[in-house]
Structure formats: C-alpha cells, structure tokens
Amino acid sequence: MTSISLDAVGKRFGSLRAVESVDAQIQDGEFISIVGPSGCGKTTTLRIIAGLEEASSGTVLFGEEDVTDAPPERRNVGMVFQNLALYPHMSVRKNMEFGLSVGGVPKDERTDRVVEAAEMLDIEELLDRNPSELSGGQQQRVAIGRTTVLDPDVFLLDEPLASLDAKLRVEIREELQELHRRIGVTTVYVTHDQEQAMTMSDRIIVMKDGEIQQFAAPEEVYADPNNEFVAHFIGTPSMNFFDCEVARSGDDLCADLGFNSVLLDVSEGDRSLSSGEAMRFGVRPEHVDLVGDGAAAFNADVKFVEPTGKDKIVHLEVGDETLKAIVEGEERVEAGETRRVAFRAERIHLFEADSGDCVY
Ligand code: ATP
C-alpha cells in the first residue's frame, strides 16, 4: 500500500488541456472517487496515476518515490476497467492466475492466492468455467479478483460497474466496499455517477474541464459545496437554483428571489455580500418544507408529484420557475393544490453570479 501525491499534474493532447494543474494528496489506504461529467479528465488522471499516460507537467509520487516517469510495471498498480478484457479461451482460474504466472510466482502460491481471492469474492464455484459462461456481475468479480491476487499497492478502477444493471451495481458496489475494508489498499475509483462516489468513498474529487473543483469527504461536498457546479452535480434530485438580489430589510440583509425574501444571517460588509448584488440562490429539495404556516413561508402551486416509494418529489411553481421539494412518501400532496412553503434558512447557499463560488 502507498500514499499517492499528485502535484500540479497536467495533460495536454495537442492543444486540448485534458487535465489542468491537479493537486491531490491521497492517503495510504484511502478510497477516493474521481467524479465529474463526461470528458472532464477523470480517466486521464487515473491513467497518469497508472503510468499508462505520461503527464505533460507536474509530478506523481507513490509514497516518497517519484514515479512520474516510471512505466506501469514499476508501479505495482492493479486496474479494473469497464471493458474487463478477460481472456475468453481461458478458465476463470487461468484468468486469475495469469498475472501471477507472468510475474514468476510458483504454482502452489498461485493456487493459494487465486482460491483466497475467489473465496473473498464468492466465485470459488466458477473457477473452472470460461468467461462466456458467466453473468456480467460474475465476470466483474473475476476481473476484480484477477487484480487483487496481484496484491497491488494501488487499486485503480475506471467505471467498473457502468455496464451492470442497477441492482447488480449496488451489489457489487457493496462487495467492493467490503473488499476495500478487508484488504485496505489505496483505491482510486473513477465514475460519472455521483451516488456511487458518495456512498463508497472516504473522499471525493469533483472535476470539471480538467480541474479539481473540490476534494473533500462526501458529507462536506454535499453540505458545503465550493461552487455552483459542485452543488449542482452532487445530490439527486439536484439543488434548486434561482437568480436573486441581496437586499436590505431593516438592519438585516436578505436574498430577494422575487417570489420570496430569505433573511441572511450576516451583517452587511461580511464576506462579499452587499445590498444590490446579483447572486445565485441554492437550496436542496430536502431543505424545502411544505409547512402549515410561518412568517417565512410563501405560496406555491403544486404542478406535479413524483412518488419514489420512500418519498415524493414535489414540483412547485414559483413565478415562472420550478422549485423541487422532497417530502415523506406518506405525506398527502396533490397536483393543483396551493401550499405554504418555506426554506430551511440554515441550509441555503448563495453563489457569486459570475464565478459560481459559494459565498454563503
Ligand atoms: P468519460 O466519463 O466520458 O470517460 P473522462 O472524464 O474520463 O470522460 P477523459 O477520458 O479523461 O475524460 O478525457 C478528457 C479529455 O481529453 C476529453 O476531451 C477527451 O476527448 C480528451 N482525450 C482523452 N484521451 C485522449 C487522447 N488519447 N487523444 C486526444 N484527446 C484525448
């Protein structure tokens, strides 16, 4: 196992800047996810860690060792990709042994390591089958097993669950978490699925346009997003956003949304808030309450309701915009009703209109 340090790592493909000045200190044994939209540089960053892609700038350290120019075989990394690339003509056992044979590991030790990994992944029964005789989930376990037998210092996974159905995705996700708990190897996991990243990781790297937007624990990324992009990308359904203006209300400042005015718990001059400033207001659907009454409440018409089982997503009309709220599944809410609605004041955010930086 090892820590990984990325220091000002960049990658250009011709004039395209795929990765830009990435700094990240990954602790020994941590499970890190890199998450972000398609093309934001996740895979390129992973491939630079693996040594499959040469960084155009910056340095990569494994522990104290500078591996920036080291080829993949000198890094002891194990990799699992969405395309599993199992050898179709070899049994599961042979697939799992292959890397060990290439590495010159004696036959007895190979057998022991394969059996141990197979037990851990619950695929002992499948060792003599060929990949074509396995389900997608079983093939995925073999690919993971083939990597864990090599006892890598770093485990790199690139969208390994993308081709599985939703239920199996959750099942294998849980197995991967359990595996990580047991072997404790430093893991970097690439996904565009924020839910996977949130549930699996010690910390998350959120990327956009080749740059890290935030690198923090899932709870922090969720509760204290650095900017509007992170706030929007993390959380389903995503945060509600509205244009607003900071306005004076007696001695206080408030965010004037047109349909509602939300008191801000800051004095004028505090941070970058000043009266008259245009801002973006953000509130998560779970922090929008359909209340009986209250001073801060406002009227909103229910457009439609989406039941998810556990809860309901309520789409409300405010001015000519939509506000989403989440309420418990048992709560009665009907399309066409007018409801009193309030924001949980302590959970709202303000983002700078230009930069998108979170300032409140
Ligand atoms: P996805 O989720 O779609 O896999 P990603 O976040 O992993 O995307 P990358 O694969 O890292 O993104 O790609 C980042 C950018 O670099 C993209 O614009 C991509 O088109 C470009 N890119 C990646 N590899 C190459 C390459 N070998 N040659 C040229 N451009 C590349």
pLDDT at 125: 92
pLDDT at 305: 97
- Average pLDDT (288-299) is 82
Give the pairing of strands 288-291 and 298-307: unpaired
Q: List, for residues 58-76, the tens digit of each pLDDT value.
A: 999 999 999 999 999 899 9
Any idea which residue has 């697939």 for tokens? 95
**Contact yes or no for 2/67 (Cβ under 8 A):** no
**Domain limits, CATH 3.40.50.300, in the chain:** 4-227
Put the strands of the sheet holding 4-13 in their side by side order.
16-26, 4-13, 57-62, 65-66
- Surface-to-core class of residue 213, CB atoms within 10 Å of its CB (0-12 exposed, 13-18 middle, 19+ buried): buried
322 vs 99, residue with greater confidence:
322
Instruction: Kindly report whether the peptide bond that precedes residue 237 is cis, defined as omega within 30 degrees of 0.
Output: yes
d(CA 238, CA 223): 13
Predicted TM-score (pTM) of the model is 0.91
**Contact yes or no for 121/145 (Cβ under 8 A):** yes
Give the pairing of strands 186-191 and 31-35: parallel
pLDDT at 165: 84
Beta strands in 237-293 (DSSP E): 240-249, 252-256, 261-264, 278-283, 288-291
Average pLDDT of the chain to the nearest whole number:
91
Least confident of 39-43, 116-120, 231-235: 116-120
Q: Ligand 1, atom 5: nearest CA belongs to which residue?
A: 39
pLDDT at 263: 87
pLDDT at 293: 67
Q: Is the pLDDT of residue 292 over 70?
A: no
Give the gyration radius of the chain's Cα atoms. Answer: 25
**Nearest-10 crossing angle of helices 92-102, 107-120:** 130
Residue from 129, 195, 132, 186 nearest 161 by CA: 195
Q: Which residues have a Cβ under 8 Å from the Cβ of 334 and sit 6 or more positions away?
A: 302, 305
Q: Could you identify the atom of ligand 1 that is nearest to the CA of residue 47?
A: 11
Q: Is the pLDDT of residue 273 over 90?
A: no
Q: Is the pLDDT of residue 339 over 90?
A: yes
* Ligand 1 surroundings by CB, under 6 angstroms: 13, 16, 18, 36, 38-44, 192
pLDDT at 238: 94
CATH architecture, range 240-352:
Beta Barrel (2.40)
pLDDT at 336: 95
Tell how far the Cα of 258 is from the centroid of ligand 1, in angstroms: 41
- Average pLDDT (91-106) is 89
Q: Is the pLDDT of residue 270 over 60?
A: no
Q: List, for residues 157-209, the tens digit of each pLDDT value.
A: 998 888 788 888 888 888 889 889 988 999 999 999 999 999 999 999 999 99
How far is CA 54 from each of CA 13, 19, 115, 278, rounded to the nearest angstrom? 11, 12, 36, 43
Q: Ligand 1, atom 3: nearest CA belongs to which residue?
A: 38
Dihedral of alpha carbons 235, 240, 242, 244, sign: negative
Q: Ligand 1, atom 27: nearest CA belongs to which residue?
A: 13
CATH number of 4-227: 3.40.50.300
- Surface-to-core class of residue 188, CB atoms within 10 Å of its CB (0-12 exposed, 13-18 middle, 19+ buried): buried
